[in-house]
Amino acid sequence: MKNDQPFLTELESSLYNSVLDICSGFQEKDRFYCLVLAYDVEHPLPPVLGLGLESERTSWIEEEKKDAKDFIWNPAEFTHFDIEELEIVSGETKRLCLDWDRKTNEPGKLPEARKILIGIAKKLNELDWSKHLAVTTDFIVYTVDFEGTDLKENFAHILSESQVQNFKNKKIF
């Protein structure tokens, strides 16, 4: 699959556009602090989307104290995770993900998928999200596997050192 750059470019572009289209204008009274592209290690594409609410993050910080980070970056805890409104439904994007899944051999699948999703998250982080959603000033886009095992490594690839340090200073990473 690594040699099929035109296909990978089309896949990445389609995923990027689908995520942006789905999330743009998503209605909620609260602000969002993150967008997650979560993935299953067996079938990582397309990702499952989630939006983290600032009110949830604040609540976890108050209630969970030093364990808050276990909730803040775990999309399964989000009100807006794996819901119909955030599902990637584009037939073209789903077809490209299915083609990728068929063409990619098992041993190299997860690292390649992570690389694709990290690239998309980095590109999405370049956007001014306040033009698309009600967001906090520290809003980020990140990717993580359903178990959360790749979180720190993915953050290192996606976020700037100052962003990571900001979350560490707040004791939420």
Q: Which pLDDT value is given to residue 2?
A: 57
Q: Which pLDDT value is given to residue 168?
A: 87
d(CA 101, CA 52): 28
Range 146-159 average pLDDT: 95
Neighbours of 31 (CB within 10 A): 17
Q: Which pLDDT value is given to residue 3?
A: 62
- Model confidence pLDDT, tens digit, residues 13-37: 999 999 999 999 788 999 999 999 9
Q: Which pLDDT value is given to residue 146?
A: 96
CB 88 within 8 A of CB 94: yes
Q: Which pLDDT value is given to residue 42?
A: 86
Residue 1 has pLDDT above 60, yes or no: no
Residue 157 C-alpha from the chain's centroid: 13
pTM of the model: 0.94
* Residue 56 C-beta-side C-alpha neighbours within 13 Å: 23
Average pLDDT, the chain: 93
Q: Which two tokens stand for residue 75?
A: 């999309």
- Model confidence pLDDT, tens digit, residues 39-89: 998 889 999 999 999 999 999 999 988 899 999 999 999 999 999 999 998
d(CA 44, CA 114): 8
Range 112-138 average pLDDT: 96
CB 34 within 8 A of CB 60: no
Closest Cα partner for 51 from 133, 124, 130, 119? 133
